Amino acid sequence: MKLLSRDDILRALQALASELASPTEIIVGGGAALVLLYDARAATKDVDAFVLASTDPASVREAARRVAQTLDLPENWLNDGAKGYLHGLLPGEVLFQRAPLTVRSVAPRQLLAMKLSAWRDDIDIADARLLLSKLAGSSDEVWKQIEPYLVPGRELKARYAFEDLWELERGPS
């Protein structure tokens, strides 16, 4: 499986902008947001994206398919596979902008909530550590920032993961 570097992602977004006919806003989460926001790692396997309601998701998927063929990317380089970890939506920084495409990240506190809700592997843990370092406040204050964005039914798992992460990074709360 080809991993996507920061340059690969930006090149793909540039090509995507060229393929789109109408104004489109996409919110990016997961590893791609961390690569683009913080250079958190060298690459990611895909770009987890959420097309905002004002745009036809089918037209974006078709444009992404054409980009995949043109740039020899995996067919699902741009996908909504992380939508199961998205509860609410708190847009963050603009990561890429070229008419007609605007790409934003999910805000760091929501990215952390997504990582805590997933909490699958060492990559999620490393990403969560980085995201925690971007949030200020006491354990209770930070928890209150991320709690609204936790996936329903995964709150307890996320709380245990948060407590372990907090102790590891900042000591006992």
pLDDT tens digits for range 128-143: 999 999 999 999 999 9
The answer to whether 25 and 99 have CB atoms below 8 angstroms apart is: no
The mean pLDDT of the chain is 94
The reply to whether 16 and 59 lie within a common domain is yes
**pTM score over 0.75:** yes
Cα–Cα–Cα angle for 19, 106, 45, rounded to 5 degrees: 65
pLDDT tens across 55-104, in order?
788 999 999 999 999 999 999 999 998 999 999 999 999 999 999 999 99
The answer to whether 127 and 48 have CB atoms below 8 angstroms apart is: no
Quote the domain boundaries for residue 149.
110-170
If one compares 1 and 133, the residue with the highest pLDDT of the two is 133
The reply to whether 123 and 84 lie within a common domain is no
The reply to whether 42 and 101 lie within a common domain is yes
Q: How many structural domains compose the chain?
A: 2
